[in-house]
């Protein structure tokens, strides 16, 4: 197999939530493989920083600022992308939020709805806006960022996630499979990635980590290490290879799949 299959020269990719964490790393990886990357985020400062990093490394990138929960902001997304870039070959639905961890009976309905809006309705709205471009171009690759929490539950004696997060990530996997079924003959592929516990570099849980007691933090960390056969957290940049593979011609017959990237967590 030629390494040419993994190159993304001439392809245009859109990454939501590209301002930080996994989204930033995936955008950097796609650009390094040759893609022109449209970095999307609701935080102008963060996404500008991502674009600057890509430019400093010789890559091609631009920014677009919108909130994935705002239907009016996304309504003209396809037209804007076509006008600026002419086409779109790859969509990475990465933008997401993690609510303050609580057990189900403690979850506020407002939190439940917010997580669904960002993590599930957001990818639906963005994908709906982008698929016409892919149909026009004769194909494309959609990569949805799910989670191992959408595959298996986890409770190390204290809340570290929530049913809302788990439900949306499981739902995203179902959406991925349905997209694959509906658009396979149009040469539009859809796959999902389920990242495991990540180390430094992601801001997803910053809003509640500071409030955890030292005892709960230690219990949480010990549970992660014990439950991961590789015995460590993942590094955000380790997702780059998988995203490049799913975006490239190397995965041309792969669609409707959920690929766990978790150091073996879901294997045991």
Q: How far apart are the C-alpha atoms of 114 and 164, rounded to whole Å? A: 9
Catalytic (active site) residue 183 = no
| Distances from the Cα of 200 to the Cα of 78, 102, 268, angstroms | 33, 23, 24
For residue 94, with 0-12 CB atoms within 10 Å meaning exposed, 13-18 middle and 19 or more buried, which class applies? buried
Three-class DSSP category at 87: coil
β-pairing, 258-261 vs 140-145, is unpaired
Q: How far apart are the C-alpha atoms of 207 and 119, rounded to whole Å? A: 17
Handedness of CA 162, 199, 8, 53 (dihedral sign): positive
Q: How far apart are the C-alpha atoms of 2 and 9, rounded to whole Å? A: 15
Q: How far apart are the C-alpha atoms of 223 and 217, rounded to whole Å? A: 10
Three-class DSSP category at 121: helix
The pair of three-digit structure tokens given for residue 148, joined into one six-digit string: 């191992």
Of the residues 100, 155, 165, 183, which is catalytic?
A: 165
Three-class DSSP category at 81: helix
Residues forming the active site: 165
């Amino acid at each position: 197999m030629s390494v040419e299959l993994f190159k993304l020269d001439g392809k245009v990719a859109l990454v939501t939530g590209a301002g930080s964490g996994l989204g930033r790393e995936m955008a950097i990886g796609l650009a390094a493989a040759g893609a022109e990357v449209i970095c999307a985020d609701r935080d102008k400062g963060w996404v500008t920083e991502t674009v600057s990093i890509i430019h400093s490394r010789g890559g091609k990138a631009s920014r677009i600022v919108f909130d994935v929960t705002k239907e009016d902001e996304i309504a003209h997304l396809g037209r804007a992308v076509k006008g600026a870039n002419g086409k779109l070959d790859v969509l990475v639905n990465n933008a997401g939020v993690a609510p303050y961890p609580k057990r189900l009976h403690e979850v506020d309905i407002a939190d439940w709805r917010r997580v669904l809006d960002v993590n599930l309705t957001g990818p639906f709205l963005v994908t709906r806006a982008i698929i016409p471009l892919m149909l026009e171009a004769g194909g494309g690759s959609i990569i949805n960022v799910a989670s191992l929490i959408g595959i298996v539950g986890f409770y190390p004696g204290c809340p570290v996630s929530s049913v809302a997060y788990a439900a949306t990530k499981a739902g995203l996997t179902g959406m991925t499979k349905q997209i694959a079924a509906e658009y396979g003959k149009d040469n539009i592929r859809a796959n999902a990635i389920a990242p495991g516990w990540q180390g430094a570099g992601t801001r997803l849980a910053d809003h509640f980590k500071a409030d955890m007691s030292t005892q709960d933090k230690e219990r949480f960390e010990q549970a992660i290490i014990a439950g991961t056969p590789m015995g460590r957290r993942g590094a955000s940049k380790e997702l780059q290879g998988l995203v490049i593979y799913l975006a490239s011609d190397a995965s041309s017959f792969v669609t409707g799949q959920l690929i766990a990237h978790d150091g073996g967590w879901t294997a045991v």
